Structure 1
């Protein structure tokens, strides 16, 4: 992404503001300031772009968008989320009725062994999500991809 048009626009706006001052001192000051302000303006634009891509990344999790510098211009690197591993036994997806998600929330108590709780918290933090948001997404992915309640590789009855 070329930042030059944005920096040039800022330079132009500074010159217009100096013209409004109506004297040569204001114009001379504006000309002296435009050079040093160019690098500050580029850094400020990069900070704004990085913050914006951080917000986009939080919404795309587990995918991400990173801002990298190529020369003096930023470039965006999009990382798509990994496709889930296919399950050994395919299941016909169940169609969700259109009115099934009415936006209401339900509360459940969920107990995890301490080692799984720690791993869950670490995974959520690594993706910039709350534990609740991470668990909601994990359950949704499991249900939407046809995950089975039994551990992979186990079928039938265990006595």
Structure 2
């Protein structure tokens, strides 16, 4: 099971897209994109990875294939951001966590008629443990104090 986000999952979650086809990206932009997908990547580590793998180590990354190759490397070597590492320990992937958080945000936004941010600090996370070959199921419910603030008409 892949823990970090695939490009398709990244797009499905409507994250800020910075990779489009053959668009040229700076090392900094590519590292940010890779970080948003859940991998612990900094521009310096990306440059080093490219140099070690004898890839073009200029100030630009030319293809999405190269970025996917780097994501595969980080996945294989488990270079994850803290949230993704938490998902690995919980027995789910990052997409499952973000999808559940997005669903909860949309559900509560509709219920209370105001935009509720996709912010894990507003919700309580629930986990049904992983069973044999099935990944853990993650769901979110509103924190009681946040619900109370919305009922009183206060913003969050």
The TM tier, using the shorter chain, reads: under 0.3
Higher relative contact order (CA 8 A, sep 6+): 2
Q: Kindly name which structure, 1 or 2, has the bigger radius of gyration based on alpha carbons.
A: 1
